[in-house]
Chains A and B, each alone.
Chain A
Amino acid sequence: MVVDLTIERHTIAVLVDNEAGVLARVIGLFSGRGYNIESLTVAEIDSDDAISRITVVTSGTPQIIEQIKAQLERLVPVHRVIDLTADGANVERELALVKVVGKGNKRVEALRIADIFRARVIDSTNESFVFEISGATEKLNAFTDLMVPLGLVDVSRTGVVAIARGKSAL
């Protein structure tokens, strides 16, 4: 069979038991087998059943992406693995806190751009702002790129969370 070698970027959601070591298992699988992690987020989504949702953005050939999913499914505390990229439309969001330090014109310009990007000011001093911005990864990248010459000193990002469009649930 012909092997497809194009590199694809996939967002994969993993439902896991929120038990000790589960994140280490997932991360260890990626590092041990040489897979990419572009971003990874995790939080409990159901405290009654102690279930967490991991969203991992990865890249690889179609064969590797299939391997990643199969390997994840093999982990004992994993309930489900959903390839949001393969399963049709989904929305992805990331949140960033961006600190910009500056005075005068640069400060005004930073505020103006923040406005265009619909970033909110959540802290300010005479010389600094902290912006909160959410959106697709590319939008956040564009925003931080623009902030560099305006005095960007610190960025904290959540990594991607994603969910399928439409009425179906996991």
Chain B
Amino acid sequence: MPECECQIRRRCNRERKMADRKLTGSEIIVKALVNEGVETVFGYPGGAVLPIYDAIFQQNQLKHVLVRQEGGAVHMAEGYARSTGKVGCVLVTSGPGATNAVTGLTDALMDSIPLVCLTGQVPTHLIGNDAFQEADTTGITRPCTKHNYLVKNIADLPRIMHEAFYVARSGRPGPVVIDLPKDIQMGTATYKNLSQVEHKTYQPRLKGDISEIEKAVAMIAAAKKPLFYCGGGVINSGLKASKQLDRLIKLTGAPVTLTLMGLGAYPGSDDQFIGMLGMHGTYEANLAMHDADLIVAVGSRFDDRVTGRLNAFSPNSKKIHIDIDPSSINKNVMVDLPIVGDVGVILDQMLRVWKAKKLTTNQRAIKAWWKRINEWRQRECLKYNQSGSVIKPQYAIERLYEATKGHDCYITTEVGQHQMWAAQYYKFDEPKRWMTSGGLGTMGYGLPSAIGVQVAHPGALVVDISGEASFLMNMQEMSTAVQYGAPVKVFITNNQYMGMVRQWQELMHGSRYSESYTDALPDLVKLAESCHWVGLRATKADEVDDVIQEMISIDRPVIADIWVDQKENCFPMIPSGAAHNEMLLGPDDDADQSGAEDGMVLV
């Protein structure tokens, strides 16, 4: 039956009222999150965010994962973000909730992870009064966020909510904090979905300058010893960037090395990949870096772990640097040709120019370059000696790789030797499969990060390659994994030492192992059981495969406690302050004493 005129009028009025209906701040927050595509927020309640928790209670579009400590929430959001490419979302209370989030925010800033972290704040009229659970959150987080906001006027709330997501994911991604006084959460305002809105001035440049791109491809075509040096920027740019990188590298026939953050940007099992570079990179990658005549840096930032001693870094090469962040260019290393823009877009532009100009590389020179590289490869710098029953940590990780490579598998790590062994022995063929704390080196990152990954990919196999000391730093999140049915696996290369600290003490402090041995470790198998996990243990080399198989087959969270050789060190190693060609290849190489002096002040 058609509506009569008065019915139509009534319906229009009703609709207008709905549109104008004022929402509370908390409802606006939840609505904005949903409109930004957030499915899960990782958080922990408290007095200053109760209105937001109330709004979450009264809806069912947004899921909430209750962590056990706010630091865990931020790392979970990081794992979620890195494995999906989406913005991770965190919700914590004022004061201690916010300060507990600081490590994770700094971690996300260093590794360019897009996050939006909502923090509660005391009501605006109490700000500055040393009120209960008040902290100057925007002050504290200013240096550890890409940007932050304190919402003082509820009319600004919808814009700020959406702008925060735009800022977090645009350009070089990073964490954004929105500090939300309680009265703002409880006030009312109208809401308009602004999720398509950009920032009025913050508009990072995406396309590369075409004349620079032409120069770059000409330099690549002319090079005799080119090397692609690619980092996390390729992964952040998206899957397409990895595809384009793959094409360009196949077209040029050049070798490629990846940073710790870049693993997976190019297939790790491909022959043109010569391994990770830097402090614990491969012999061939570091020597190629040292000897190259052209370095093409793509989404990497010449970090000190990568360059070694700066004045000896790749002394004879021309350098092209492609990055979305102009402040990364010429920061540590002066380059010959900077190109600012999105890595994926620029690689695409380069491929087009390459094909249009029908360019080829100098085949004979490249062949000679590969011959050289293959000689270096024959040093087999990652070889280790698994004999007898004592488990070598490298063996454990290599076996883990062999057993899981066919799976839909994601790897996270903690920080230490196990992290470097994971980077060396686990081969990543796809981007977004590897989450590790690279820039900040945060012990305790791996377990919560793995839970975040598992929440995003419920059916996948998610393994945290862990050290026993790092694991203890955030093991409270075991309980979170159980509550949300996240069957993560924690694969611990247990050496009872803070192995990386022990290694530095051995090499640089006369083997005085000051406070690097963990006495009174918990029985990790019993610990697992008491937390409703499954605990497995391998103490001999021939038990490793069985434990790994069992771990994979159990559809619950598992700790695999692998007792490894306590004295094993991580090689190759470029000691701090040394150059790429001053690498230690094994226990028989001595750190050069003169260089070690200078290097000791470095970290």
Contacts and interface: CB of A to CB of B under 8 A. Distances in A.
A63 B330 contact: yes
Nearest to B204: A74
Given A70-B327, A73-B326, A1 B335 contact: yes
Interface in A64-108: 66-67, 70-71, 73-79
Contacts of B325: 74
Contact of B146 (A21, A28, A76): A76
B143 A71 contact: no
A24 B138 CA distance: 10
B327 A67 contact: yes
Interface string A1-32: 11100000000000001001100110010001
A1 B334 contact: yes
Nearest to A78: B201
B139 A24 contact: yes
B199 interface: yes
B329 interface: yes
A70 B326 contact: yes
Contacts of A76: 146-147, 167, 199, 202
A35 to B, nearest CB: 12
Given A71-B327, A73-B327, A21 B334 contact: no
B60 to A, nearest CB: 34
Interface string B296-336: 00000000000000000000000100000111011100111
Interface centre among A32, A70, A71, A79 (most CB of B within 10 A): A70
B142 interface: yes
B326 A24 contact: no
A67 B331 contact: yes
B138 A63 contact: no
B461 to A, nearest CB: 38
B167 A66 contact: no
Sorting the interface of chain A by its residue count into under 10, 10 to 19, 20 to 34 or 35 or more gives 20 to 34
Contacts of B334: 1-3, 63
A74 B327 contact: yes
B239 interface: no
B150 interface: yes
A74 B142 CA distance: 13
B326 A21 contact: no
Contacts of B335: 1
Given A1-B335, A3-B334, A76-B199, A21 B327 contact: no
Interface string B253-294: 000000000000000000000000000000000000000000
Contact of A21 (B150, B167, B202, B329): B150
Contacts of A20: 138, 150, 152
Contacts of A25: 142
A28 B145 CA distance: 12
Contact of B142 (A24, A63, A71): A24
Contacts of A75: 147
A28 B142 CA distance: 8
Interface in B133-181: 138-139, 142-143, 146-148, 150, 152, 167
Contacts of A71: 327
A70 B319 CA distance: 19
A1 B143 contact: no
Nearest to B148: A21
A77 B319 CA distance: 32
Interface string B510-537: 0000000000000000000000000000
A160 to B, nearest CB: 24
Interface centre among A28, A71, A76, A78 (most CB of B within 10 A): A76
Interface centre among B147, B326, B327 (most CB of A within 10 A): B327
A75 B152 CA distance: 21
Given A1-B335, A1-B336, A32 B143 contact: yes
B201 A21 contact: no
A75 B330 CA distance: 18
Contact of A70 (B139, B167, B199, B329): B329
A24 B319 CA distance: 36
Nearest to A20: B150
Nearest to B201: A79
A32 B148 CA distance: 17
Interface in A42-80: 63, 66-67, 70-71, 73-79
Contacts of B150: 20-21
A3 B142 CA distance: 32
B315 to A, nearest CB: 11
A80 to B, nearest CB: 9
Contacts of B329: 70
Contacts of B138: 20-21
Nearest to B334: A1
Contacts of A78: 201
Contacts of A79: 201
B323 to A, nearest CB: 11
Interface string B190-226: 0000000001011000000000000000000000000
Interface of B: 138-139, 142-143, 146-148, 150, 152, 167, 199, 201-202, 319, 325-327, 329-331, 334-336
Interface of A: 1-3, 17, 20-21, 24-25, 28, 32, 63, 66-67, 70-71, 73-79
19 contacts: A3-B334, A20-B138, A20-B150, A21-B138, A24-B139, A25-B142, A28-B142, A28-B143, A63-B334, A66-B330, A70-B326, A70-B327, A73-B327, A74-B325, A74-B326, A74-B327, A76-B146, A77-B201, A78-B201
Given A24-B142, A25-B142, 8 more contacts: A17-B201, A20-B150, A28-B143, A63-B334, A67-B330, A73-B327, A74-B326, A76-B146
The 4 closest A-B pairs by CB, nearest first: A70-B327, A1-B334, A76-B147, A70-B326
